[in-house]
């Protein structure tokens, strides 16, 4: 997206830089907020134990 600066058109340059900034912010938010929200959920995120019926052969 930053490659749009090579086009030499100011509107495309600003759009490309804004899009690249938005993607960078989304990545940073995902890396910080996802673990925080998962820690708030706690044990609700753990999978339920599967009961095995071995030995009933």
Give the chain's end-to-end CA distance (angstroms, integer). Answer: 60
Q: 45 in a domain, yes or no?
A: no
CB 1 within 8 A of CB 20: yes
User: Which residues fall within 8 angstroms of residue 47, CB to CB, at 6 or more apart?
Assistant: none
- pLDDT, residue 54, reads 64
Query: Taking the model in full, what pTM does it have?
Result: 0.62
pLDDT tens string 6-19: 888 899 889 989 99
Q: 32 in a domain, yes or no?
A: yes
pLDDT tens string 19-40: 999 999 999 999 999 999 999 9
Q: 33 in a domain, yes or no?
A: yes
Q: Which domain holds residue 32?
A: 2-40
């Amino acid at each position: 997206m930053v490659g749009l600066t090579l086009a030499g058109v100011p509107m495309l340059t600003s759009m490309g830089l804004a899009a690249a900034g938005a993607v960078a912010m989304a990545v940073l938010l995902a890396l910080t907020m996802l673990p925080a929200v998962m820690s708030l959920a706690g044990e609700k995120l753990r999978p339920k134990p599967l009961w095995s019926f071995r030995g009933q052969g």
